[in-house]
Amino acid sequence: MELKKFRKKSPWILHYNTGSCNGCDIEILACLAPKYDLERFGILNRGNPKQSDILLVTGPVTKRAKERLLRLYFEMPEPKVVVAVGACACTGGVFRHMYNVENGVDSIIPVDVYVPGCAARPESIIDGVVKALEILEKKKKEIELPPYCKVPEGEKLNRRKLLERCLEVINAGRRS
Amino acid sequence: MGKRITVPFGSQHVALPEPVRFVFQTENERIVDVEVDVGYVHRGIEKACSTRFKYMQVGYVVARVCGLCAISHTLGYVTAIERLMEVEVPKRALYLRVLVSELDRIHSHLLAMGHTAEVAGYENLFMQTFRYRESVMELLELITGNRVQFDYVCPGGVNRDMTTELEKEIRKKLKELEEKCLWLKDVFENDFSLNLRWKGVGVVTKEMAKEMNVVGPPARAAGLETDVRAEFNYLPFEEVGFKLITRRGGDIYDRNLVRAEEVINSIEMVKNVLDGLPEGEIKVPVKGLPEGETFVRVEAPRGELFYYIKGTKKMVLDRVRIRVPTFANIPVMKKLFIGMDYSDVPATVISFDPCLSCTAR
Amino acid sequence: MNWEALVFTLFSPVIGGFIYGLERVVRARMQGRVGPPVLQPFYDFLKLMDKRSIVIHSFHAFMGIMYLVGTWFSLYVLLSGGDLLIAIFFHVLSLAFLVVGGFSVRSPYSILGAMRELLHMVAYEPLYVLTAAGLYLVTGTFQISEILNSNEVPLFVLPLVFVSILLSLPTLLKKSPFDIAEAHQEIIGGPEIEYSGKFYEAVYTAKWIEYVYVFFLIFLFGGGNHLLGAFLVLFAFFFFNLLDNVTARVNFRQMVAFHWYVLIPLVVINLMLLALWRG
Amino acid sequence: MKEMLKATIKNLFSKPVTVKYPEEPSPPPIGYRGLIVYDESLCIFCTKCEMVCPPGAIKFTYKDNGKKEFHYNPYLCIYCGECVRACPKPGCLTQVENTAEPAVAQDIPEWNLIERKAEESKRKFLAERAKRKK
Amino acid sequence: MEKVIYSLFLLPWLLALLVFVSPFHRLRQLITFLSFPILTYLSFKVWNLKLPLFITPPEWVNLAVTLFDYGLLLYFLYQGIKFRNFLVSVLAAAQLFLLSWVLLIIPHGETPPIYVDGLTTFMYFIVATVGSLICIYATKYMEQEDLDRENRFVAALLWFLGVMNFAVSVNNVEWFFALFETTTLASYVLIRFRWDSVSISNALQALWMNQIGGIAILLALLFGIKYYSVYSFTDILKVNPAVTSMIPLGFLAIAALVKGAQMPFHRWLLGAMVAPTPVSAILHSATMVKIAPYLILRLSPVIKGTLLAKLLIVTTGFVFVSAGLLALTQDNFKKILAYSTISLLGLMMLTASMGSPTAVLASLLLILFHAVVKALLFMEAGVIEKLFKAKYIEEIRRLVEKAPITVVFISIGFMSMTIVPYGIFMAKWLTLEEASNFLSHGAYVGSIIFIATGSVILTLLYFKVIGVMTRKRGEFMRFKLEKLPFIYLSTAGLLALFTIVGSIFIAHLSADFVNAVVASISSSPAPVKASGLTLITPLSEVYGWQIIGAFILLLIVPIFAYFVHFPEVDRVYEYTCGERVETTLGTYNFFCVSQVEPLIETAAVALFIITLVLGGGLI
Amino acid sequence: MRVEEVKVPLREVRRTIKEFYDPNVWHFITVNGTDLGGKVELKWFFCKYGEKETFKVVTAEAGYDDEIPTITYLIPSAWIAEWELADLFDLKVEGAKKGLFLDPDSPKAPLRRG
């Protein structure tokens, strides 16, 4: 039996707010509420990265949140997709280039789906999640890495070491 | 020390919609020590408001300080700039501002109530509250064109006018909403398991509220009669039937009941606004450059919101200072946790309706 | 070997999965939502098969699998018609794996959850032992197979016992108001938090088996009247779903107090009245 | 508990309120602040919209011939409608009710590039103009 | 025939003497090693004799015992005066007075003063195996503690075994009083062993509390002689309970409760932990406290079904639950064990007081398995104290990383007290079913509640500790067992092995071996049968496959789990909300329970008095 | 709007506030800093309960290196505002810890001008 097609039927979500204005967060909450009811798609808000398939990120990545975001990303088992919800998560939005902000989520972790809007409508979020499900079905089970994390050829991937290495890269400015 | 269990609560936690970190040291689930970190959402908006954005744009930026009280932030800023530049706002615009700000309060309060129910493990009540909250969201979407970020108020007035069809639609939905909110208030007041769980938990006494300068519904639930709507003339609240609501208990239960009663009062006010909506302009042009300093208090759904602005005759303001309600409530929260059960923590945190995005800006 | 029981035990995850799926639909409907499809648990199951597994350490992961095996075995002990008390205590044995697994990682939520799991046990275990004693009083045997063939209907003689079992159902199945061990908003699933992928699947499936286990206990109240037993199961299913939907979570002190000071006295009163009436 | 019990049982036997969104349409209401639509034929290139846009989602790049090109990033836009209000030419910028589609990484405008380009070309253009004036 | 019995008393004393005088450590170890086979062989020999057996020793022994009594009490008096302990001296003086009174009125009876039956032999076996294993363990333990005084220590332990053997075989209550007080002396000497102020004050506490037991025995003796002219156990059993006053029996039961460290007299047993760990092991498992259930078992045919038995059930059941509750609040490993001993002693006496053959069987199984398991646990407590320098449960956190074997032993010990297939569980199960059987007459519902709640509280307690021990930071890099000294490993291993094998063959053990003992106590054996590994009781049966299956799950698999390694799976950190926080991970200490401790003690005192006054028929 | 503004030297701030502050009457809003270039203007805002638009503002000026007195003895909840001041202006405030909002890799003292 092709197991891949069941990924689509039971995606569990993890939601992390990296510095948003709560607008998109409450829209995600509203999505779980009766009117939109994401559970129709088998979606559960697990709140636990180890059992989640979709990471919903809202907000521009603030300096303090970036490390947590990376940690959560590495704790999620593959295959997984990342959905950036709202203008801030996509590109930084109105907070673009503020001093404590690293702009969009894609500067820290690879993003698969961008959902626009300020705040994103529940319909848009559902659209984004549905789009993410299509991507999820095609994903491989290899460990995904942010673009700035380079691994030499043939090295055996160790999740904890990779995390430490990525943390080193994003915190490089911290030490100087 | 060895008996303690450290329980991190946040920054990512399923009960929290936004990042805040509490690190609790618990003994038998009773909290003996707590450490708070509220700086996750610090983006530097104050700095940006005084460097990058022109004073006419700042209203849209400060709305993004917080999505839940977006209208209050804009209102605070806009009131301040209007006072600074001595702009006379048309009456109709003021009434429309009251309308949107009260509808915003309803949706925010319903969110807080529902979310408190959710973190107390009462999933069904959360669902029902959110179900009825949707009708407010629809109303706001109709009036302002967005569900969360309204961008309705601008210096000199409001951006959109109200049509008669809209008014009819609003009246219809309001009637339905009022019925539901009365039902919700009934549930929050009389539900046995909520009483069992919430009464006497997380009590802020009146003395504590005064000493720690608590604001908003938590202060009113403790019996402190403080409401900026009564203490500051930024909108004509008295004309539309504003009532100051207080309770005595100061626990989670009372905080939610204060919210429930305020929701009903707000619905009343919205109705009165619609009845007495004056005709006329909705916007006057604002010209010139701001000079001098002023400060404004506004009642956001979470409590007193304070804006301080200073201009030096430039397009860009010299200083914008935002003191948000949650910022004022964090000290009391921190104090409250000591000696509390860990199982009551999520409900207590949410019952303060914290808005960290406001706090850190 | 009791082949019937063996087959039933082997298929119990399927039955339990259906019950769980149905429960999710019913709960969604009670909240005015559409809810997932009935087969949703199986989709989850198959998806979890497909995930890349991550573990904290092997011992912990292995304990998750052992929880499934232990629960399965304890279900077989119950279904094979042996001693009721032994079957009840076997459930403790299976829980032991979950608890030890939960304790074996350095995660505060897992440790809190495991501790609360033990407190759950403290709450319901005496109740179930007393219930077994009550069933013995009515049917004159501890053998489950004989209880199921007896002429008596325990429900009619033990109404208070049945009520208290019904009220403590959420404790065993970890549903609101007694879902403190996996209190999703506090400790995010408790002992199962650190499991993922295939290992979480084991824990997830073990919960379905627990459904069958619990509903079979309810079924025993029908005694020889199997139709009544089936009705009781159906009633219990709706009852605890309703209870789940109209209550908030209590804290563990309230839970233990409720079981010890309300439910156990209820059972004892019933047993004493029964003994008086019989004597 | 009593009230909720009633409501729960009522919900169980009544139709759910859920909008089955992807199958059934759920259009935004009239007046929803959606995408900004730009009509180049009406534009007078006053760049007022660029100046008022809070997040900087509208950028004009200068071509060598002094012409300006309009760029708009719906993934950066906060849909406040300030540009529409600021636009002196009615109909040039309008706000429609549709929202932008969720996109994958390839479909997002390279906004950093455009920003840099806009700035550079503007500086170049201004420098040239100043030279010409001299 | 008599010689075998005498040698059972005298051989340990001889060995003790040899150990005391032998100059070399190795020699002492060798002599101690001898005790295990010799005592076991002798007990086996007694088992094969025709029981019951009455022995009349020469007349001078009687005089010697009386003189010894006086000497002992005078010594107690001297200790009381020396350490200025008012209670000890007053109680010793009171005993001297009562003893003199007893001797004045004691008639000359024909009943032989030594009586050996199945129960006695059963106790011999426990003392011979468990007791001598502890002595062997002690030789190694003292190597690490204080080699200079090793000879005294081991000699005292061996001597204690002889005393215990003697104590369980006397028939004459006056002799029994002498031996009862001798065990008190032994415990006093052993607790005092370290000679620091805490040890001495705890030893004195043990002394005065146990003397209350002595007074109770003397009072029982007085009343017994005064009203019925009986002063032997066998004679008391012949008295028709329906017409007798329960006073002597009540006092004897009180003596048992005191010796069994039941609340409120539980502090001496807790205080005993200041001594070297083998002392606790021997006090808690084979000797001393086991006199308590022994005494109740001796009396059970008479007190069965009386008000005294019922009140004893309530008292001991209450102790079973509340000692378990108080154990939750402790964080000292040995204290936890001590409280659980108190708790389980309560259970033993509860089952013994129920008095029906099945209940007696359960009680005997409890005594047997508890002795083995507690010895094992205290040995391991000594091991973690000596080798890993840990006393408190916070300090044994993540022990599994350092010492997997020790953790497995401790887990076996803990699980055997609570979980399904082990002997102690089986005893509880038998009791529960027996109590349910009585329940149809509306009686003993209290005992079901006590047993159910008490055992679930013990489960909570043990899993709390197991949870602390098995916590791990990460993967085992490579499998490494700790290096345990051979003696530690072999003694503990033997006990653990017995626990497991005994539990697997529980059916045969109880139906063939223990049931013979039951038959000698009650008039009839318990109606249990064994077929294969299946244990069949009149109400129900527990199948062999259930026992084997549970063992596979409980033992083989967790041990196997240390070798299981999932190589292809990613390792991650624990979920802590995405943060890296400094976590201290302790465990619950349930201090809310310790708030009700005064309440519990008050209730225990009240129950004690009620037992004495109502059950003993003082009114 | 009735505003009573008191301008005092920095070291007098605590005494001034102590003189009039009564938790039953006055509500402490916040302390605000405005950079004046080289020094910071500090304002402590108070308002009266139950009265319309009645404020009291205590103003003081502090150099970048001055130690600013804390008022948490009088108003326990003021710590968070003071910490923020210490963080965003990089000022020395009695008893305040750095790092409420800023991270090691954020710019130092972002609200100072220039």
Q: Do chains E and F touch (3 or more CB pairs under 8 A)?
A: no
* pLDDT of C256 over the 80 cut: yes
Q: Read off the pLDDT of residues B135-176 as tens digits, 9 standing for 90 and up.
A: 888 888 888 888 888 878 888 888 887 888 888 888 888 888
User: Dihedral of CA B124/B129/B131/B132: which sign?
Assistant: positive
Cβ distance B233 to F51 less than 8 Å, yes or no, reads no
Cβ distance C92 to E564 less than 8 Å, yes or no, reads no
Cβ pair F21, F72 in contact under 8 A: no
| Band of pLDDT at residue B316, cut at 50, 70 and 90 | confident
The chains found to touch B (3+ Cβ pairs under 8 angstroms) are A, C, D, E, F
Q: Does residue F105 sit at the A interface (CB-CB below 8 Å)?
A: yes
A7-175: CATH topology: Rossmann fold (3.40.50)
Q: Read off the pLDDT of residues E158-188 as tens digits, 9 standing for 90 and up.
A: 888 888 888 888 888 888 888 888 888 888 8
Structure tokens, B222: 């403790």
Q: Report which of B356, B349, B171, B181 is spatially closest to residue B259, judged by C-alpha positions.
A: B181
| C-alpha distance from D81 to closest chain B C-alpha (Å) | 8
| C-alpha distance from A5 to closest chain D C-alpha (Å) | 19
**Main-chain phi, psi angles of C160, to 5 degrees:** -70, -35
Q: CA distances (Å), B259 to each of A139, B344, E30, in order?
A: 46, 19, 81
Cβ pair E289, E592 in contact under 8 A: no
- To test the contact with chain A by mutation, choose from C24, C50, C188 the residue with the greatest count of A C-beta atoms within 10 A, namely C50
pLDDT (0 to 100) of residue E476: 65
Residue with tokens 């009852």: C239
- Average pLDDT of chain E is 82
In chain E, what are the domain boundaries?
A: 1-56+112-170, 63-111+172-259, 303-564+586-619
Structure tokens, E42: 């002798």
Q: Which of residues 50-69 of A touch B (CB under 8 A)?
A: 59-60, 62, 64-65, 68
Task: List the pLDDT tens digit at each of the 176 positions of chain A.
Answer: 577 777 778 888 888 888 888 888 888 888 888 888 888 888 888 888 888 888 888 888 888 888 888 888 888 887 888 888 888 888 877 888 888 888 778 888 888 888 888 778 888 888 888 888 888 888 877 777 777 777 777 777 777 777 777 777 777 766 54
Q: Does residue B328 sit at the A interface (CB-CB below 8 Å)?
A: no
Cβ distance E442 to C111 less than 8 Å, yes or no, reads no
Residue with tokens 């009171």: E94
| C-alpha distance from E414 to closest chain B C-alpha (Å) | 21
Instruction: Give the chain D residue whose CA is nearest to the CA of B149.
Output: D80
pLDDT (0 to 100) of residue E144: 76
Q: Which of residues 62-101 of A touch B (CB under 8 A)?
A: 62, 64-65, 68, 72, 88, 93-95, 97-101
What's CA B155's distance to the chain center, in Å? 21
Q: β-strand E534-536 against E541-542: which pairing, if any?
A: antiparallel
- To test the contact with chain C by mutation, choose from B122, B132, B188, B256 the residue with the greatest count of C C-beta atoms within 10 A, namely B122
Cβ distance C43 to A41 less than 8 Å, yes or no, reads no
> Can the peptide bond before residue C177 be classed as cis, meaning omega within 30 degrees of 0?
yes
> Which of D2, D28, D54 minimises the CB distance to B57?
D54
What is the rounded distance in angstroms from the CA atom of residue B65 to the CA atom of residue B48?
Answer: 12
| DSSP SS3 for E89 | helix
pLDDT (0 to 100) of residue C144: 86
Q: Read off the pLDDT of residues E383-430 as tens digits, 9 standing for 90 and up.
A: 888 888 888 887 887 777 778 888 888 888 888 888 878 888 888 888
Number of CB pairs < 8 Å for B and E? 55
> Can the peptide bond before residue E264 be classed as cis, meaning omega within 30 degrees of 0?
yes
The chains found to touch F (3+ Cβ pairs under 8 angstroms) are A, B
Q: Read off the pLDDT of residues B92-121 as tens digits, 9 standing for 90 and up.
A: 888 888 888 888 888 888 888 888 888 888
Cβ distance D74 to A135 less than 8 Å, yes or no, reads no
Residues 6+ apart with CB under 8 A from D129: none
Q: Report which of C164, C165, C143 is spatially closest to residue C223, judged by C-alpha positions.
A: C143
Q: Read off the pLDDT of residues B264-297 as tens digits, 9 standing for 90 and up.
A: 888 888 888 888 888 888 888 877 788 888 888 8
The chains found to touch E (3+ Cβ pairs under 8 angstroms) are A, B, C
What is the rounded distance in angstroms from the CA atom of residue B84 to the CA atom of residue B86?
Answer: 6
Q: What is the DSSP letter of E332?
A: B
List, as one string, the DSSP characters of A31-74: HHSTTT-GGGGT-EE---GGG-SEEEEES--BTTHHHHHHHHHH
Q: Strand runs (DSSP E) across chain B, as ranges?
A: 5-9, 21-27, 30-37, 153-154, 157-158, 291-300, 303-312, 319-323
Cβ distance C32 to D1 less than 8 Å, yes or no, reads no
Q: Does residue F39 sit at the B interface (CB-CB below 8 Å)?
A: no
Residues 6+ apart with CB under 8 A from C183: B121, B343, C116, C190, C249
Cβ distance D54 to B141 less than 8 Å, yes or no, reads no
Cβ pair B204, B62 in contact under 8 A: no
Q: Read off the pLDDT of residues E123-145 as tens digits, 9 standing for 90 and up.
A: 888 888 888 888 888 888 887 77
* pLDDT of C1 over the 70 cut: no
> Can the peptide bond before residue A79 be classed as cis, meaning omega within 30 degrees of 0?
yes
* pLDDT of B1 over the 50 cut: no
Q: Report which of E482, A114, E171 is spatially closest to residue D104, judged by C-alpha positions.
A: A114
pLDDT (0 to 100) of residue E477: 61
> Which of C29, C34, C247 minimises the CB distance to D12?
C29
Q: What is the DSSP letter of E290?
A: G
CATH of domain D27-133: 3.30.70.20
What is the rounded distance in angstroms from the CA atom of residue B188 to the CA atom of residue E609?
Answer: 51
Cβ distance A34 to D78 less than 8 Å, yes or no, reads no
- Spell out which residues of chain C touch residue A7, defining contact as CB-CB under 8 Å: 47, 50
Cβ distance B231 to F52 less than 8 Å, yes or no, reads yes
Cβ pair E312, E303 in contact under 8 A: yes
The sheet carrying B303-312 orders its strands as B291-300, B303-312, B319-323
In chain B, what are the domain boundaries?
A: 5-360
Residues 6+ apart with CB under 8 A from E110: none
User: Dihedral of CA D27/D33/D35/D40: which sign?
Assistant: positive
**Average pLDDT estimate for E346-354:** 87
Structure tokens, E130: 């468990």
Q: What is the DSSP letter of E510?
A: I
List, as one string, the DSSP characters of F3-65: EEEEE--GGGHHHHHHHH--TTTEEEEEEEEEE-SSEEEEEEEEEETTSTTEEEEEEEEEETT
| Band of pLDDT at residue E619, cut at 50, 70 and 90 | low
CATH of domain B5-360: 1.10.645.10
Cβ distance B45 to A68 less than 8 Å, yes or no, reads no
**Average pLDDT estimate for C16-20:** 89
pLDDT (0 to 100) of residue F106: 76
**Average pLDDT estimate for E540-545:** 83
Q: Read off the pLDDT of residues E194-214 as tens digits, 9 standing for 90 and up.
A: 788 888 888 888 888 888 888
Cβ distance D9 to C246 less than 8 Å, yes or no, reads no
- To test the contact with chain E by mutation, choose from A76, A158, A159 the residue with the greatest count of E C-beta atoms within 10 A, namely A159
> Which of B53, B142, B149 minimises the CB distance to D78?
B149
pLDDT (0 to 100) of residue E442: 65
| DSSP SS3 for C15 | helix
In chain F, what are the domain boundaries?
A: 2-93
> Which of D8, D16, D17 minimises the CB distance to C245?
D8
Cβ pair B284, B87 in contact under 8 A: yes
Cβ pair D78, A87 in contact under 8 A: yes
- Range in B262-266, D72-76, E475-479, E563-567 with the lowest mean pLDDT: E475-479
- Read off the amino acid at residue C108: P
Q: Read off the pLDDT of residues E2-41 as tens digits, 9 standing for 90 and up.
A: 788 888 888 888 888 888 888 888 888 888 888 888 888 8
Cβ distance F106 to A171 less than 8 Å, yes or no, reads no
Percentage of chain E surpassing pLDDT 90?
Answer: 0
| DSSP SS3 for B74 | helix
CATH entry 3.30.460.80 includes domain F2-93? yes
